[in-house]
Amino acid sequence: MRSNLLKVLALGDVVGPLGVGAVSSELRKIKHSLGAELVLVNGENSYIGNGLDSASADAIFRAGADVITGGNHSLHLHDMHDRFDEDPFILRPINLSPRSPGKGYTVFQLKNGKRILVISACGQVFMDPANSPFYAVDKLLEELDGKYDFAIADLHAEATSEKHAFFRAFDGRINIMYGTHTHVQTADEMLLPKGSACISDLGMCGVVESVLGVKIETIVKKYMTGVSDRFSKAEGDVALCGALFSLDMDSGFVTAVERVRVVVPQAKCR
Ligand SMILES: [Fe+2]
């Protein structure tokens, strides 16, 4: 029987040049070996001092990503704002001020003609001020009704409670939902009752021997002494973390969600 499965690979926050290097070196191979047709990457920490720069965006796309989603650091680099406005596949959270540069969703067309709505949103709990992601996404789905076939959302947020509430709120309306931002992969991937799938956090594409991608000594000193040095990105082998979702395009149900974690030696990340 003909399989009508769409495999979607989502990777969590790419952290710094080594994260970008690991994506550049390995993403295409991983995409091929997992049979992923659509690849989404959260790129808001790709630049060395956070944010997304043009060279990193180019490298992530060249490596096989179709859409780059965002978060609280997306608009950090002012000279990227025009690109956020113009590039249809680079997103910032939808629930920022409507006057922010860029946009929070895109519709990606697959080779078979199916239209995939990809939404980038951010949370409100323990995060920079933003409007309600629940309201913004609900309104968007209503506005775009009939203009897409399947939907995917990256909720860039700190609190698992907010993420799980979001997943339950949109079960059956957004097929694939995942969290980013904490840089720590969670083990709560699940299929939901109305056919969607979710995981609280994909984890990061960043250096393993680090605290969330930052040099260990810098962060430990901050917590030990209360003195904050300039954050510098860690060095070492990189783990590419994310999840692979299998979407049955006949039923619209996600049939599987699996965590992905591939360690890339530092020497391959240049
Ligand atoms: Fe973030």
Exposed, middle or buried, 208 (CB in 10 Å: 0-12/13-18/19+)?
middle
Distance CA 1, CA 193 (A): 26
Q: What's the CA-to-centroid distance between 180 and ligand 1, angstroms?
A: 7
Catalytic pick among 73, 156, 181, 183: 73
C-alpha 29 to ligand 1 mean position (Å): 26
The confidence score (pLDDT) of residue 2 equals 55
Answer yes or no: 73 catalytic: yes
Range of the domain at 55: 5-264
pTM over 0.75: yes
Angle at 139 (CA atoms; ends 134, 144), nearest 5 degrees: 130
CA of 195 to the centre of ligand 1 (A): 28
**Whole-Å CA distances, 177 to 56, 101, 257:** 24, 24, 11
Tokens 């680090």, residue? 210
Q: How far is CA 62 from CA 49, 57, 245, in A?
A: 22, 9, 22
Q: How far is the CA of 35 from the centre of ligand 1 (A)?
A: 28
pLDDT in tens, the chain (270 residues): 457 999 999 999 999 999 999 999 999 999 999 999 999 999 999 998 799 999 999 999 999 999 999 999 999 999 999 999 999 999 999 999 999 999 999 999 999 999 999 999 999 999 999 999 999 999 999 999 999 999 999 999 999 999 999 999 999 999 999 999 999 999 999 999 999 999 999 999 999 999 999 999 999 999 999 988 877 778 999 999 999 999 999 999 999 999 999 999 999 998
Rounded Cα gap, residues 136 and 156, in angstroms: 14
Asked whether residue 45 is assigned to any structural domain, the reply reads yes
The verdict on residue 270 lying in a domain is no
Task: Please name the residue ranges forming H helices in 154-234.
Answer: 160-169, 216-225
- Which residues does residue 198 pair with via DSSP β-bridges, in sequence order? 177, 190
The total domain count for the chain is: 1
pLDDT in tens, 120-176: 999 999 999 999 999 999 999 999 999 999 999 999 999 999 999 999 999 999 999
CATH of the domain at 108: 3.60.21.10
The pLDDT score that the predictor gives to residue 270 is 80
- 269 domain-assigned: no
- Say if 12 falls within a structural domain: yes
CA of 154 to the centre of ligand 1 (A): 12
- Please check whether residue 79 lies inside any domain of the structure: yes
